[in-house]
Amino acid sequence: MKLITLAHGNGGEENNELIEGIFYKYLKNDYLKKSEDASLIEGGKLAFTTDSFTISPLFFSGGDIGKLSVCGTCNDLAMMGAKPKYVTLAMIIEEGFEVSVLDEIVKSIKKELEICGAVVVAGDTKVVPRGSVDRLFINTSGVGVMQLEGISASNLAVGDAIVVSRDIGTHGAAIYANREGIDITSTLKSDCASLWPMVEALKDARIKPKEMRDATRGGLAAVLNEWAKASNICIEIDEEKIPVCSEVKGICELLGFEPSALANEGTFVLALDPNDVDEAIKVLKTFSQNKMCSCIGKVTDEYTKKVVLSSEWGTKRFLDMPTGELLPRIC
């Protein structure tokens, strides 16, 4: 490992190597946990997280970098059971960027913040000379107030059910289609959305997920593999139960992508007590985008630290942590 490659930012295997090899070497402490989306601070009362957004194009079917920059950070808080409350907004803008486009993006930030119930409390603007950055990068950091205690990647136990909130892979597929000018964008939209309202609905229904995670970079495959390792268990998934819409299936068949490795920005996976599954799916389906919400598998002890995919013909194979980088600048 002498030079940083695109794969080092993939949310998968190489990303983990970089984090372990460089960042943890110097910065490791009890707060910093690779397998969680945000850190608990102030005695566990607050959660704190950060995300940078380098997506290209800036506007895509179903969203834009502004909406994404709010969803991305607020979803990391929501997945820890924290209600997003305070957000910081830092923009790095290329000289010559259109003010009218910036206006659209900030308007979109405002709209999404209202959905999350959060406010921007501090900001920073840097303008760099032409060629030093490709148009616009945004960083948001967020602090949320803990509402659901005890959610953790190390909580999974044999018998737990695995539920996915909606059909997977639409963000990755939509960005790919937008970039390549594939003409199915009229129906295919990124799932980009704020997840806190869904978590709040689960809380109001007195459902306590053992773990939740939005399947961003690295997709469903990365989430399940991280959980299997963190909880030292096996996750068995019925391949045909993984919800995938026909447009995403089409793009994946055309290009040889795995839907389970595609990025999502408003899709989350839950580990639940099996008795909570029916009610959780009912609650999640009250949100229009979650029509395909379903239980896709369960926790076993067959192959610890592994994810197993079972096909409808009874064959089994491991679903590995994604490697390489098919779609840089997906978020």
Subset of residues 108 to 167 that bind its own copies, contact rule: CB under 8 A: 109-110, 113, 119-129, 131-134, 137, 139, 141, 143
Instruction: Give dist(CA 64, CA 265) in Å, integer.
Output: 12
Shortest distance in whole angstroms from residue 164 CB to its own copies: 24
What is the smallest separation between the CB atom of 267 and its own copies, expressed in angstroms? 19
Considering the rule CB under 8 A, would residue 59 count as an interface residue with its own copies? no
Please choose, from the candidates 253, 222, 314, 301, the residue with its C-alpha nearest in 3D space to the C-alpha of residue 9: 222
Which residue number, 86 or 287, has a Cβ lying nearer to its own copies?
Answer: 86
Cα 179 from Cα 129, distance rounded (Å): 25
Which 164-193 positions form the footprint of its own copies (CB under 8 A)?
none
Q: Is 48 in the site for its own copies (CB under 8 A)?
A: yes
216 binds its own copies (CB under 8 A): no
Does 232 participate in binding its own copies (rule CB under 8 A)? no
SS (H, E, C) 6-38: HHHHCCCHHHHHHHHHHHHHHHCCCCCCCCCCC
> Quick check: helix, strand or coil at residue 261?
helix
CB of 51 to its own copies, least distance (A): 5
Binding mask 63-102 for its own copies (x = CB under 8 A): ----------------------xx-xxxxxxxxxxxxx-x
Contact status: 329 vs its own copies (CB under 8 A): yes
For residue 154, give Cα distances in angstroms to 226, 261, 271, 331. 9, 22, 11, 26
Minimum CB distance to its own copies, residue 92 (Å)? 5
Does the footprint of its own copies cover residue 5 (CB under 8 A)? yes
Return the closest-CA partner of residue 229 out of 164, 154, 296.
Answer: 154
Nearest Cα neighbor of 193 from 269, 264, 93, 97 is 264
Task: Provide, rounded to whole angstroms, the least separation between the CB of residue 195 and its own copies.
Answer: 18
